[in-house]
């Protein structure tokens, strides 16, 4: 962890605000720009982060912008053409995104329950993602074994 802090040059951050974290990440990526397709992912993250800072993601226009960014991320990027299951993957991904939008914009409990069940079934279909999510959670719990405080991780 010490090597990561030294490499990024961020040190310890005692004020936890969204803008401080964004500036720290943004400055490190300006000094060491990403190459390839990951640079597009970072630029999309910056767009969505700006929407969330301005709280415009709560409007219909903001949801449309997020939906357009999602479509660009999934369909506009290069994937393996030879894979057999691309059609099914993109179908589940679109279902998951649609149900997340319904979950966020629902105004009654029936829609919330239906969207929650559908999005969970679409999410759990990707077993490889679940495996890496479990590994990540285990690593996070292992890193937190020394301290329960969030600032100890960063």
pLDDT digits (tens, 9 = 90+) for 93-134: 777 777 777 777 777 777 777 777 766 666 666 666 667 777
Instruction: Give the Cα-Cα-Cα angle 115, 141, 52 (nearest 5 degrees).
Output: 45
Residue 23: inside a domain: no
Q: How many CB atoms lie within 10 A of CB 61?
A: 11
pLDDT digits (tens, 9 = 90+) for 27-49: 777 777 777 777 777 788 778 77
Residue 74: inside a domain: no
Residue 101: inside a domain: yes
Residue 25: inside a domain: no
The domain in which residue 95 lies consists of 87-154
Which residue has tokens 């490889």? 128
Instruction: Give the Cα-Cα-Cα angle 107, 109, 112 (nearest 5 degrees).
Output: 80
Higher pLDDT, 142 or 14: 142
Q: Is the pLDDT of residue 78 over 60?
A: no
Q: Please report which confidence band the pLDDT of residue 14 belongs to, taking 50, 70 and 90 as the band edges.
A: low
Residue 150: inside a domain: yes
Q: What is the largest CA-CA distance in the chain?
A: 50
Residue 122: inside a domain: yes
Tokens of residue 65, six digits: 């912008």
Residue 100: inside a domain: yes
Q: Are 78 and 101 in contact (CB under 8 A)?
A: no
Residue 104: inside a domain: yes
pLDDT at 75: 56
Name the domain count of the chain.
1
> Considering the entire predicted model, what is its pTM?
0.43
């Amino acid at each position: 962890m010490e090597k990561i802090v030294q490499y990024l040059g961020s040190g310890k951050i005692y004020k936890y605000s969204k803008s401080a974290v964004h500036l720290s990440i943004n400055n490190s990526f300006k000094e060491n720009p990403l190459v390839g397709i990951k640079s597009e992912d970072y630029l999309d993250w910056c767009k969505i982060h700006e929407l969330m800072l301005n709280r415009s993601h709560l409007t219909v226009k903001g949801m449309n912008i997020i939906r357009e960014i999602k479509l660009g991320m999934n369909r506009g990027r290069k994937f393996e053409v030879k894979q057999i299951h691309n059609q099914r993957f993109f179908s589940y991904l679109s279902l998951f995104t649609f149900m997340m939008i319904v979950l966020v914009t629902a105004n009654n409990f029936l829609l919330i329950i239906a969207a929650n069940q559908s999005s969970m079934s679409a999410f759990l279909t990707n077993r490889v993602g679940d495996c890496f999510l479990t590994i990540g959670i285990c690593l996070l719990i292992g890193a937190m074994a020394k301290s329960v405080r969030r600032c100890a991780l960063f």
